[in-house]
Structure 1
Amino acid sequence: MESYYVTTPIYYVNDEPHLGHMYTTIAADVLARYQRMSSRDVFFLTGVDEHGQKVEQAAEARGIAPIELADQVVARYKSLWPELGISNDDFIRTSSDRHKAGVQAMWRRLENAGTIYKDFYEDWYCVPCETYWTETQLKDAECWDSKHCPDCKREVEKIQEESYFFRLSAFQEQLLEHIHANPDFIAPLSRRNEVISFVESGLRDLSVSRTTFSWGVPVPGDEKHVIYVWIDALTNYLSALGFPDQEQPEHWPADVHLIGKDILRFHAIYWPCMLMAAGLPLPKRIYAHGWWTVEGEKMSKSKGNALRPADLLAEYHADVLRYFLLREVPFGQDGDFSFSALKQRYNSELANDVGNLLNRSLSMLTKYNGGVLADVGEESDSDRALIADVEAMQRDVAELMEKQAFHLVLDRINVVVRHGNRYVEDNAPWALAKAGDTARLNSVLYHLVETLRLVAVQLSPFMPEKMNQMLSQIYSEDVSATSFTFIEHGGWGLLKAGHQCAKAQPVFPRMDA
C-alpha cells in the first residue's frame, strides 16, 4: 500500500490554541482523510514545541517548571482536536524521550558529516521570534536606530555567546539545484520565489546551540550547550516515525509539510540543508499558507479579537468552521474571518444548495416511492450529462487535492450540487408523478440520490460528521465515511433497485443572517 505522510508544524506552548493553529490542522486533517479514502497508508502528525527561552521565561514568571506549563497547554490541544474532528495518528512532544533521542541522533549525524563546528556568536536577538538579526539586516529594515525586530517590532538585545554552528552556507548551491529541479517542492509559487531570492542572496552558517538557557535537549558530549530550535523542533518529523531506531522511517519522506508563511525559511531552507547533510531524503512538498485577519483587523490580544477555537465551537458546528476556513480563501493567500461571510457562505452553499438537494430528493423519494429506489429505465441526455459531471468532478477533485487547492475542490463539488438542483427543475418529478410517468420518475429519483451519495462521499473529508448524517439517510442506517474508500464507494450506480432510503432530516438548517 502506498504511504502518505502529512504534518502540521509543532505549535509553541507559550501560547493558547488560536485560529491559525486550527486552520493548519484542519487542512492537514482534510488531506489525511482524503488520502485514507484513496486507500493510502496515511500517517498524520501534529504536536507541540516545548523547549526554548520563551517557555523557560514564561514558566518562571508563573512560578512553575517549564514542563508544568507545557503540560497545561498540551492538555488544551489534546482536548480541542477531537472537537474539531481532527484525526491525527500521533501527537509529538519535544519533551518526550523518543524525540530527545531523535534530536541527539540528528546532531551526531551532522557532526559526523563535518557540518557542525564551535565558534562565538554575536548578533541582535529577538526573544519572541527566536530570531537573530545582523546589523546590516536591521539597517536594511530601517530598524537600526530603534533596535526593534523587523518582524514583530519588539526590542532586540545584543547577544554574545559560545555556540555551535551548522555549515548552512555549504549547501546553498545544492539547495537551489533541488528547488529548480523540483517545481512542486515549495508552494505556492510566491513562497517558492521568496525562498529562491533569499538563498541566492547568500546563506550564512547557522547558530544551533545555546548556553543562556537550559530547557532543551543537551548537546551530546557538551551538556552546557542546549540544541537550538532549528534542529530540535524540525527533527520532530523524523522522531515521531521512530528515528533513529529506524534508520529510514517507513513513512519518510513527508508528502507535505503544511506550515504558516512565518516559518517558511526554517522549513524550506534550514530543514532541507540539514537533511542533505544527514544523508536523508528531503520532504516532497512544503506548503506555506497565509494569515487570517478578523473583520478586517489583525488578530491581537490587546484588541481582544483573537478568535479562540473554543468560543467558535460554542457558536458553530465544527464542520461548518472546517468548510468555511477552506472554502473562503485560496489556500496560500491571506484571508479575513468575517462572521457575516461565514453565515452567507453557509446559507448559500450548504443550506440552500447541498441541504436543499438532500431534502427535496429524499422527500420526493419517500412521497412517491416509499423511500425505495426502483429500476432505472433508458437514460436521457439530461441523465447522461449529470453522470458525466459527477464522474468528472471526482477526477478533478483528485487532481486538486494533490495541489492543496481546497477552495477549488469545494467549488467543483458545488458545481455538481447546483447541477443536481437544476436537474430537479428541468425534470420536474412532481409533474412526472402527476402524469403517471412512473418509469421516468423512478429514473430521475435514482439519479438524484446517487448524485447526493457521491457528493457526500467527496465532501466527507471536509465535513465528516455532517456527511455521515447525509449518508446515513441515504443508506437508511448509521454509516461512517471514515471506513469508505473511493475504490469501493466512488463508482456511479452502486445503489441498486430495492434500496431503502430514510426520510429526509435537515442537515444544514438555515442560519439567521
Structure 2
Amino acid sequence: MKPKKQFFTTPIYYVNAKPHLGHAYTSIAADVATRFKQIDDYETFFLTGTDEHGDKIVQAAQKQETTPKEYADNISQLFQDLLPVLNVKNNHFIRTTDPGHIQVVKDVLSKIYDSGDIYFSSYEGLYCFGCERFYQERELIDGKCQDHGVEPTVIKESNYFFKMSKYQKWLINHIKANPDFIQPEQYKNEILSFLKDPLEDLCISRPKSRLTWGITLPFDEDYVTYVWFDALVNYISALGYPDGKLFKKFWPSTRHFVAKDIIKPHGIYWPIMLKAADIEIYNGLNVHGFWNVKGSKMSKSIGNVTDPIQVTNKYGIDPFRYFLMREMVFGLDANFTEETIVSRINSDLANDLGNLFSRVLSMNSRYFTGEVKGSDAKIEKQKNLSLASDAKKAVDEFKQAMSLCEFHKGVGAIWQFISIMNKYIDTTAPWTLAKDDANVLILGTVLYNLIEGLRVVSCLIYPIMPQTSLKMQETLCMEKREKGFYSLEETFPWGQIKKGTIIEKPDILFPRIDTNKIKPKSHKKKLSASNFDKSVAPGNPVK
C-alpha cells in the first residue's frame, strides 16, 4: 500500500505588524488539519513563515528608525514565538530573507525566463501602493481599491512581465478536471468566474529606482522581484526544491490554507507559475472566510484587532482552539466576541464535556471505589445498553468532516456523541441502580459504556484540544503512545478500557467562567480573522 503523505501550509505572514487573531486562526486551522491527518495515519509536513520584502516593510522600518532587515527580524520572531503559545506544531518556519529561499526564487525565475515566458515591456496601469500591485479597472469599486478606498495611481514604467495569459485555458481545464482543487466550492466558482475574462500578463518586477528591498532579478540587476512571485515560491523552497528529500517526499501532496481575499494569487498566479516552470501542480487550496466583530471586518488602521496571546492567557489555549474550530464554518465569515467565547466554554466545555467526565468518573469512584467493573455482555444486549454503535457513528462522521476541513462538523460529531452519553446517564439513572445490590452488574455495564465513550472522545478531540486529550487519557489510565496520540484505527474497536483498572476521581477539566465578570466591550467596527491582507500575507493590501 502506498504511504499516505500530506503537506500543509499557511500563507507566509507579512511582517509589517505584529500577529493578531487572524494569524492565530489560520495557524491553528492548519495545525488541526495536520494533527487530524496524523491520527488518520498520514505522514505530514507543516510549514509556516514570514514574508519580509516590499515597500511596506521599508516604510515600517523607517518609522522605527531601523533597517528593513532588523525590522523584519524583530517581527518575524514575534510570529515564531506565537506558535508554541497556540500549541501549533509546525515542522519548519521559513523566511523570505533566508538565503536558500532567495536562491530558489532566482532559479525559478531563470527557468521561466529561459523558456520565453517572461518578457520586457513598457506598461501604463493603475497601481495601488498599499496593495503593491497593478489593478484592472473591473477590479475596482467606484474607481477605487476596495481594500484601501483610494484611487490607484497611474504609473507608466518599463518592467518584466510573465505570460499568464498563455496558460489561461490550461488552468480552467485543470480546475474543472479536479473538483477538489479549490475548496469550498464557492471559491472554485469564484476563480472560474474571474477566468471568463481575458487574463492579463503579470508584472513580476519593480525597478530599483523606487524599490530596492527585494530579491534581485537573476537576469537584470536593475530590478527586484514582485513580492508575490517571491512569496509563493516559499512553498517549494522550504522543501528543498528541486532535489531535496522533503520536496521529493511531500510535493505535490499539498493543501494550502488561505483566506478568501488571496485566492487569486494562490488559485491563479501560483498554479500558472508552477506550470510554466514545469513543476507538478499542488493538490489544492483550502479557503476560509473572515472573522468579524459586531458585523465589521477588522481593520488595523482603526486598531480593532485582537491579540491571541491575551485571549489564550485569559481563557486557555484549548478553549481558544475549540472556539475557533467550532464557531467558524470553514469558508464563511464568523463573528468574534468575548461573550461568545465564554458561552462556548460554559456550555460546550464545562457543562457538556467537563460535567460528563466528572459525573461518570465520580460515580465510578463512589460506587466501585474507582475500579472499572467491565460490561456484562448478556445484560448489555438484553437491556440495550451498548454505546458502541453511537461511538462508531461519531468516529465515522468526524473522519468524513475533518477530511473536508469541515471542522465545525467534525467537532459537532463529537459533541453529538457527548449529548448521547449525557442522555444515557439520565435514562439509565446509575444513582438509582446503586441503591439495590441486585443491579450491580447493570450498574457496572452502564458505567463501563460511559467510560469507554469518554475514551473515544479523548482520542477524537486530540487535533482540536491536544492538552485536554492528554489529560483525559492520563486520568483514564490509557497507555501512553510514543507518537503522542491514538490513531483513528486505535480509537475503535470498542472495549479497550481493561476491567479492573483503577481510575481516580478527576480534576475539573473546564471551570465555569463567571459571566458577571465579563464586561462587554464596544467595538465600533470589527475584527477580521483573516490574516491574509497584505498586512498578514504575502503581497496583499495593508488596511
TM-score band w.r.t. shorter chain: over 0.9
Deviations 1:199-224 (A, max 9, x none): 11110000111112111111113121
Q: What corresponds to 1:141 in structure 2?
A: 141
Q: What is the match of residue 428 of structure 1?
A: 429
Change in CA separation of 1:131 and 1:157 when aligned onto 2, cut-off 3 Å: same
Question: In the superposition, relative to structure 1, how do residues 27 and 261 fare at CA in structure 2: closer, same or farther (>3 Å)?
Answer: same
Letter in 2 for 1:283: Y
Q: Which amino acid aligns with 2:262?
A: I
Amino acid at match of 2:188: R
2:218 is aligned with 1:220: yes
Native 8 Å contact 1:382 1:423 kept in 2 = no
User: Is this contact kept in 2: 1:241–1:250, CA < 8 A?
Assistant: no
RMSD (CA atoms): 1.9
Q: Tell me which of the two structures has the higher relative contact order, counting C-alpha pairs closer than 8 angstroms and 6 or more residues apart.
A: 2
How many Å separate the matches in 1 of 2:507 and 2:483? 18
Structure 1 residue 192: Cα displacement: 1.0
Q: Post-superposition shift, 1:383? A: 5.1
Report what 1:332 is aligned to: 331
Alignment partner of 1:12 is 2:10? no
Tell me the equivalent position of 2:316: 317
The residue matched to 2:468 in structure 1 has which SS? Answer: helix
Cα drift, residue 305 of structure 1? 2.2
Between stretches 150-159 and 475-484, larger displacement belongs to 475-484
| Aligned CA distance change for structure 1 residues 298 and 49 (closer, same or farther; 3 Å) | same
1:139-181 CA deviation, whole Å, 9 max, x = no partner?
x6322xxxx4233213522222221111100011100001111
Q: Which amino acid aligns with 1:24?
A: T
Instruction: Give the direction of change, closer, same or farther, for the CA distance of 1:335–1:382 in structure 2 (3 Å limit).
Output: farther
Which residue, 150, 161, 170 being the options, matches 1:165? 161
* Shift in CA distance, 491/349, structure 1 to aligned 2, threshold 3 Å: same
Q: Specify the SS of the correspondent of 1:287.
A: strand
Q: Which runs of 5+ in 2 are unaligned?
A: 516-543
Name the structure 2 match of 1:189. Answer: 185
Higher mean displacement: 298-307 or 399-408:
298-307
**Deviation at residue 23 of structure 1 after TM alignment:** 0.8
Contact 2:126 2:152 in 1 (8 A): yes
Aligned runs of 1:73-472 on 2, under 5 Å? 73-134=75-136, 136-137=137-138, 141-143=141-143, 148-211=144-207, 212-246=210-244, 249-378=248-377, 379-380=380-381, 386-436=387-437, 437-472=439-474
Of residues 44, 47, 70 in structure 2, which corresponds to 1:45? Answer: 47
Query: TM-score, normalised to structure 1's length?
Result: 0.95
User: Runs in 1 of length 4+ with deviation above 6 angstroms?
Assistant: 476-481
Equivalent in the alignment of 2:540:
none
Give the Cα separation in 2 of the matches to 1:85 and 1:454: 22
Equivalent residue in structure 1 for 2:511, among 505, 509, 512: 509
Q: Secondary structure at the match of 1:232?
A: helix
Instruction: Evaluate the alpha carbon distance shift between residue 199 and residue 92 of structure 1 in structure 2; reply closer, same or farther with a 3 A threshold.
Output: same
- Cα distance in 2 for partners of 1:434, 1:318 equals 41
Q: 1:381/1:222 Cα in 2 relative to 1: closer, same or farther (>3 Å)?
A: farther
Distance 2:293 2:141 in 1: 27
Per mean C-alpha deviation after superposition, the further-off stretch among 3-12 and 252-261 is: 252-261
Unaligned runs of 5+ in 1: none
TM-fit CA distance, 1:245? 3.4
How many angstroms apart in 1 are the aligned matches of 2:254 and 2:446? Answer: 42
For residues 420-471 of structure 1, what are the alpha-carbon distances to aligned partners after superposition, in whole Å with 9 as ceiling and x for unaligned?
1111111111122211111111111111111001111101110111222222
Cα distance in structure 1, aligned partners of 2:365 and 2:258: 47
Q: Decide which moves more: 35-44 or 377-386.
A: 377-386
Counterparts of 1:477 and 1:124, CA distance in 2: 63
Contact 2:162–2:203 (8 Å) recurs in 1? yes
Change (3 A) 1:489 1:390: closer
Report how many residues are paired: 507
Deviation at 1:497, TM superposition (A): 0.9
SS in 1 for 2:157: strand
TM-score by length of 2: 0.90
Q: Contact 1:475–1:502 (CA<8 Å) still a contact in 2? A: no
Q: Letter of the aligned partner of 1:356 in structure 2?
A: N
Change (3 A) 1:234 1:254: farther
Return the letter of the residue paired with 1:234.
L
